[in-house]
Structure 1
Amino acid sequence: MTVTGPFGGGRQAGGTPRLPTPPTGWPIGSYATYGEAQQAVDFLAESEFSVGDVTIVGIDLMLVERVIGRLTWGRVLATGAVSGAWFGLFAGLLLGLFVNRGFALQLLTGLVLGVLSGLMFAAIGFSMSRGRRDFSSASQLVAGRYDVLCQPRTAERGRELLAKLALGSQK
């Protein structure tokens, strides 16, 4: 018996960790975007194909960092205050549930302390960067192409179905 996690990790029954393994199977399609590869697998599923034999593999991986904007003291402090407020409300809610008196006071205390601590931690973090990273960004792992692989026992049928999909999309 193998226990797996959401990312294919986990441990085998003997307790040894599973090591990452390369994908297996024959290529039955290649696509420029993940959405196209996902659409191909959806088409296979709708055609009652055994999609348990299918794997989508990203080839030529790259990390793309999209710059969102410049970080200013105002933006940093506002983000810290909002982040702290959420945590403070949660802490105040928990405190209010377990203390018999003053639910609103507990909630307000949590909110104020959360905002203050969020402001403090954001200010300390930003000041320690000393202008080395004055922008915010979002990172994404993308591939140059996405191959759809299939186990050999059903690969030929998969290729035929994906050829029908390609012919249908060219019309």
Structure 2
Amino acid sequence: MARLAQVTSSRNREVVAGFDNYADAERAVDSLSDKGFPVEHTTISGVGLRLVEDVLGRLTYPKAAGLGAVNGLWIGLLFGVFLALFTTNAVAWFAVILWALLWGAVVGAVAALIWHALSGGRRDFLSASQLIADRYEVLVDPAHAERARELLQTSQS
């Protein structure tokens, strides 16, 4: 709840600088930090946000099973290593991990196939989403805004 209060308080902050990309805004805040500015009074805000989703391809049953198996491998590895901690020799240790990997892949593939079948053909494609901003603004509490502007001006000179 405290984090929500911090985020919503940025509405009272003043814009002290604007940038075309996040890296430049991040460098500006880092510069303020290097100069001893109290950066806890600072926010980097993306302006003009839009969600961009790139479609990577069709999601078929074999692809769903393969992706599910890979996810299941990770879960199987986690369980396998945990269970292997209770074994007494190296052979049993490797056997437990291999069985857990195998069962993780099988369960993951089956679960993904069921999930894909239950979707009924809706959203049967793979995609990658990202949130993109048109520009980024550095905002500072009003009590510290003028000092931040001065420090950013000297760092650009």
Fold shared per TM-score above 0.5: yes
Matched, 1:140 2:130: yes
Of 46, 66, 69 in structure 2, the residue corresponding to residue 78 of structure 1 is: 66
Equivalent position to 2:110, from 104, 114, 120: 120
Task: Pick the structure with more helix per residue.
Answer: 2
Give aligned pairs, total. 154
- The alignment-based identity, stated in percent, is 40
Deviation digits for residues 58-107 of structure 1 (CA, Å, limit 9, x no counterpart): 23332222223332333222111121122122222222322557333322
Q: Quote the residue 1:12 is aligned against.
A: none
Deviations 1:22-79 (A, max 9, x none): 4122211122222221121122222333322222122333222222333233322211
Higher strand share: 1
Q: Does 1:27 align with 2:15?
A: yes
Q: What TM-score do you get using the length of structure 2 for normalisation? A: 0.79
Alignment match, 1:55: 43
SS of 1:21 mapped into structure 2: helix
RMSD (Å), alpha carbons:
2.6
Distance 2:33 2:7 in 1: 26
1:147 Cα deviation after fit: 1.7
Equivalents in 2 of 1:129, 1:44: separation in Å? 50
Is 1:94 the counterpart of 2:82? The answer is yes
The match for 1:14 is: none
SS in 2 for 1:133: coil
Deviation at 1:126, TM superposition (A): 1.4
1:19 and 1:51 map into 2 onto residues whose CA distance is 13
Take 1:36 and 1:48, find their aligned partners in 2: how far apart are those partners? 19
TM-score for both structures, normalised by structure 1: 0.74
One-letter identity of the residue aligned with 2:44? I
